[in-house]
Amino acid sequence: MSAANHIPASDAIIACEGLSKHFGGIRAFTDVAFQARRGEVTAVIGDNGAGKSTLIRSLVGVHQPDAGNLFFDGRARPFANPDEARKAGIETVHQNLALIDELTVAQNLFLNREIVRRVGPFAFLDRKAMKREARSMLSRLSINVPSINQRVRRLSGGQRQAISICRAVGSGAKLVVMDEPTAALGVQETANVEALIRRLREQSVSVILVSHNLDQVRRLSDQIWVMRAGKMVATVRASETSGNELVALVTGAV
């Protein structure tokens, strides 16, 4: 059950070993081995400050790990920046949502993935196409926003979260990483996102889910990884564990 004797398997979409990240004197996480199987929902749980978000961000190129190896899709592949990770097929719903307040819903949905029309050596934004696509992305996920031309600043917390999720799942990624995707959502919206995660799994899209909701994690995921104080301390199959065991693993009261 210990994370230390886990070797990156061939069916891993993403895996890391010996991964460490420090910010000056602060150790966010040390010597982490982790993997997510292809087509599965892999959950990462742990208390506040355990290092979950930093680990996620190190996997998708936002942070450069100080040590360790990263594999994606069977290849040793540290991402020098988030652009490389996105091009490789990883989309992320960041905990802070990574939305730009002053841009519109449509602009946010297509940020750094804009649709362009080429005219000779120049490329101009195809705003019409992006707005059309944005509308259909939103309606496919039945997300209600007043207007796709609205600035994100004026949206509610739940709407913002929905936009960020929509951006991540709307583009046919191989791996969707979600850092607390239902944190700001109501009961109905949470159910929608959970249904969405199940649908991704049916379409054999791999998902990494960070959540504090242990029931949700047990409902949705295949494999659960537990972090505590910057260490990966355990991994269990969701079908073989109980809520009590997870609580014990998270708090360290085993």
Ligand X SMILES: Nc1ncnc2c1ncn2[C@@H]1O[C@H](COP(=O)(O)OP(=O)(O)OP(=O)(O)O)[C@@H](O)[C@H]1O
Which residues of the shown chain bind Mg ion in the complex (CB under 5 A)? 53, 95
Least distance from another protein to the Cβ atom of residue 102, Å? 4
Binding marks (x or -) toward another protein, 132..171, rule CB under 8 A?
--xx--xx---xxxxxxxxx--x-----------------
CB of 144 to another protein, least distance (A): 4
For residue 218, the partner it binds in another protein, ligand X, Mg ion, none, with Cβ less than 5 to 8 A by kind, is none
Q: Which does 1 bind (CB under 5 to 8 A by kind): ligand X, another protein, Mg ion, none?
A: none
Residue 32, interface with ligand X (CB under 6 A)? no
DSSP 3-state assignment of 225? strand
What is the rounded end-to-end Cα distance, in angstroms, of the chain?
Answer: 13
38 burial (CB, 10 Å; 0-12 / 13-18 / 19+) is middle
Q: What's the closest the beta carbon of residue 104 comes to ligand X, in angstroms?
A: 28
The pairing of strands 67-72 and 75-76 is antiparallel
CB 3, CB 225: distance < 8 Å = yes
Q: Compute the least distance from the CB of residue 88 to another protein, in Å.
A: 11
Residue 51, binding choice from another protein, Mg ion, ligand X, none, Cβ under 5 to 8 Å by partner class: ligand X
154-166 in b/e burial notation, b at 16+ Cβ within 10 A? ebeebbbbbbbbb
DSSP 8-state code for residue 97: T
The neighbouring-strand residues paired with 182 are: none
* Contact pick of 31, 66, 114, 222 for another protein (by CB under 8 A): 114
**Residue 129: Cβ within 10 Å count:** 14
- Residues 64-103 interacting with ligand X (rule: CB under 6 A): 95
Looking at the Cβ atoms of 55 and 238, the one nearer to another protein is 55
The burial class, CB within 10 Å (0-12 / 13-18 / 19+), for 48 is exposed
Rule CB under 6 A: choose which of 33, 40, 52, 231 binds ligand X. 52
In the set 123, 191, 195, 247, which binds another protein (CB under 8 A)? 123
By CB under 8 A, name the one of 9, 26, 74, 101 that touches another protein. Answer: 101
Instruction: Report the residue closest to ligand X, judged by CB.
Output: 53
Q: Where are the beta strands (DSSP E) in the chain?
A: 12-23, 26-37, 41-46, 67-72, 75-76, 90-93, 116-119, 122-125, 175-179, 206-210, 223-228, 231-237
Which residues are at the interface with ligand X (CB under 6 A)? Answer: 23, 26, 28, 46, 48-54, 95
